[in-house]
Chain A
């Protein structure tokens, strides 16, 4: 092949290089839409990034967390409205699993299975997982459910239209329809208490210290120490909701 005196190849090369460089710069413009395109990353800012740790070995199922939550957040006292609640899992010798949560555990648990039939039994306190990729936030049609810069998933009650989409989207069943306000309601990690330097009501009132919260960015926080000291697990990790509620001693039967 003869040498091309017109140097069109060099021109093409320069044009292509320019296009690639321009393309690289252009992709930086989609950064605001990261949440849509990539898995959401927590912001690397000065703000804390809150998570929760629950030690199942320490939980005695007294339900003071659920009771305190209702008192703190004016949750209706009827037994089907809960921001957090306690479940008793009983795995019987024949392999069947019994889950019970009478009034969310507020009135106490009566052991319904005799000791001889029990293979294993334990309490699981449940609450909002404050997912980093929360499905409830993604489905909200009006932007009423949001994740705050601190990673706390909350509801804007003035903006919620009460369509219940988030309630059925939450894989952990952590939302309910408020019967008086007619908007969805959920755990706010007691954001009003956090901002005043107080612990969330459920954690302040836990008699055994089974529940802690902390800043996942701060390597010295109590939660990071809890995660280092224990083999922790989240609920339904296969859903890729990236929950920030970590359980110690979580059995595989728990859903």
Chain B
């Protein structure tokens, strides 16, 4: 074998050895455990904190409201769907308060504003520009002689028990 070929083989061998050494240090430990990615990433994502704590956590303190809601038309709604994720509130109930909608006309309208795309049998729909059209017997004191956008939905409807 000519000398220059021998030298070339030596150079190649050196490069391959260098590559293997570098690869050993650069590739993370769990890479390729399941596929072409870091297997530990699965555990890292799975260990993230759950933010929506669920209705059972709410019921441990607010059981009257939870029971009230469960008996009404809003039974399919979750507490945290309207009030936001409760993981901080569960940890420190005094300081971390949940969201209570104040612009209720807009907030209720998110589901109940009339829209041709909403299934008529899925949700009760009203036209927010016109509603309410008449005094409900159960709430005779609500003054309807105001601009409609000043009348709050919650003056007549209890969001936790909408038809009482």
Contacts and interface: CB of A to CB of B under 8 A. Distances in A.
Interface stretch (A14-22, A176-184, A189-197): A189-197
Contact of B36 (A109, A122, A146, A149): A146
Size category, A interface: 35 or more
Contact of A60 (B49, B50, B123): B123
B119 interface: yes
B41 A201 contact: no
A116 B127 CA distance: 16
A149 B37 contact: no
Contact of A156 (B38, B47, B49): B38
Contacts of B41: 146, 154, 156, 158-159
B36 A204 contact: no
Contact of B110 (A62, A89, A198): A62
Contacts of A108: 106, 109-111, 113
Interface in A110-137: 110-111, 115, 118, 121-123
Interface stretch (A5-13, A205-213, A229-237): A205-213
B118 A61 contact: yes
A72 B51 contact: yes
B81 interface: yes
Given A68-B85, A121-B115, A159-B38, 6 more contacts: A60-B119, A61-B118, A108-B111, A159-B37, A192-B48, A198-B50
Interface of B: 28, 31, 34-38, 41-42, 44-52, 54, 76-78, 80-81, 84-85, 106, 109-111, 113-119, 122-123
13 contacts: A60-B118, A60-B123, A62-B111, A67-B81, A107-B106, A108-B110, A115-B116, A143-B36, A192-B47, A196-B50, A204-B52, A204-B54, A208-B122
